[in-house]
Amino acid sequence: MYNQKRLQLFKFCFFVCLLLFFFLFTESRVFGEKSSTSSLYKARFISERTLTRADAERTRTIRKEELFKCFFVFFLKVSLFFTELESYREKRHRIRNLKVNAALLRYIKMQVLQVNARRETGRKAQMQNISAAKAVSDVVRTTLGPRSMLKMILDASGGIVITNDGNAILREIDVTHPAAKSMIELARSQDEEVGDGTTSVIILAGEILHLSIPFLEKDVHPTVIARAFSKALEKAVEIIDAKIAFPLDVENREELLKIVRSSVGTKFTARLGDLVPNLALDAVQTVKTVGPDGKSAEIDIKKFAKVEKIPGGAIEDSTVLKGVMMNKDVCLPGRMLRKIEKPRILLLDCTLEYKKGENQTNVEITKEEDWEVLLKMEEDWIKQQCDIICSFKPDVVITEKGVSDLCCHYLAKANVTAIRRVRKTDNNRIARATGATIIHRLEELQESDIGTGAGLFNVEKIGDEYFTFIVDCDEPKACTIVLRGASKDVLNEVERNLIDAMGVARNILKDPRLLPGGGAVEMAISRELSKFADTVQGAEQLPFRAIGTALEVIPRTLAQNCGANVIRTLTKLRAKHAESPDGENSTFGIDGEKGTIVDMKALGVWEPYEVKAQSLKTAVESACMLLRIDDVVSGLRKKNRDGNPGEVENMTPEEDD
Tens of pLDDT, residues 171-213: 888 887 888 888 888 888 888 888 778 888 999 999 999 999 9
Q: With a cut of 70, say whether residue 584 has pLDDT above it.
A: yes
Class of domain 323-355+372-475: alpha beta
- Cα–Cα dist 427/343, whole Å: 16
Q: Which of 209, 244, 232 is nearest to 548 (CA)?
A: 232
Of 165, 191, 196, 591, the active-site residue reads: 165
CATH annotation of 253-319+483-511: 3.30.260.10
- Cα–Cα dist 386/379, whole Å: 11
Lowest-confidence segment of 296-300, 349-353, 628-632 by average pLDDT: 296-300
Residue 569: active-site member: no
For the purposes of burial, counting CB atoms within 10 Å of the CB of 524, is it exposed (0-12), middle (13-18) or buried (19 or more)? buried
- Stretch 216-239: mean pLDDT: 90
Residue 500: active-site member: yes
CB 524 within 8 A of CB 220: no
CB 571 within 8 A of CB 597: no
Q: With a cut of 50, say whether residue 145 has pLDDT above it.
A: yes
Q: Which of 232, 8, 180, 72 is nearest to 655 (CA)?
A: 180
Q: Which of 436, 429, 468 is nearest to 452 (CA)?
A: 436
CB 280 within 8 A of CB 256: no
Give me the chain's average pLDDT, please.
80
For residue 441, the SS3 value is coil
- Cα–Cα dist 559/562, whole Å: 5
* DSSP secondary structure letter of residue 148: P
Answer yes or no: same fold for 121-247+515-648 and 253-319+483-511: no
* DSSP secondary structure letter of residue 540: G
Please measure the distance between the N-terminal and C-terminal CA atoms of the chain and give it in whole angstroms.
59
pLDDT for the residue numbered 328: 92
* CA of residue 377 relative to chain centroid, distance: 57
The tens digit of pLDDT for each residue in 158-171 reads 778 788 777 788 88
pTM: 0.68
CB 67 within 8 A of CB 29: no
CB 524 within 8 A of CB 244: yes
Q: At what angle do helices 553-561 and 541-551 cross, to 10 degrees?
A: 30
Main-chain dihedrals φ then ψ at residue 157, nearest 5 degrees: -85, 0
Residue 535: active-site member: no
Of 191, 426, 500, 591, the active-site residue reads: 500
The tens digit of pLDDT for each residue in 232-241 reads 999 999 999 8
Is the domain defined by 121-247+515-648 classed in CATH 1.10.560.10? yes
Cβ atoms within 10 A of the Cβ of 190, count?
26
* CA of residue 571 relative to chain centroid, distance: 35
Of 163, 191, 196, 198, the active-site residue reads: 198
Of 143, 163, 191, 199, the active-site residue reads: 199
Which of 388-392, 580-584, 589-593, 608-612 has maximum average pLDDT? 388-392
- Cα–Cα dist 621/227, whole Å: 10
CB 183 within 8 A of CB 115: no
The tens digit of pLDDT for each residue in 73-131 reads 666 666 666 666 666 667 666 666 666 566 555 544 444 555 566 677 777 888 888 88
Q: What confidence tier does 39 reach under pLDDT thresholds 50, 70, 90?
A: very low
Cα 456-460-463 angle, rounded to 5 deg: 155
Where in the chain are the domains?
Answer: 2-112, 121-247+515-648, 253-319+483-511, 323-355+372-475
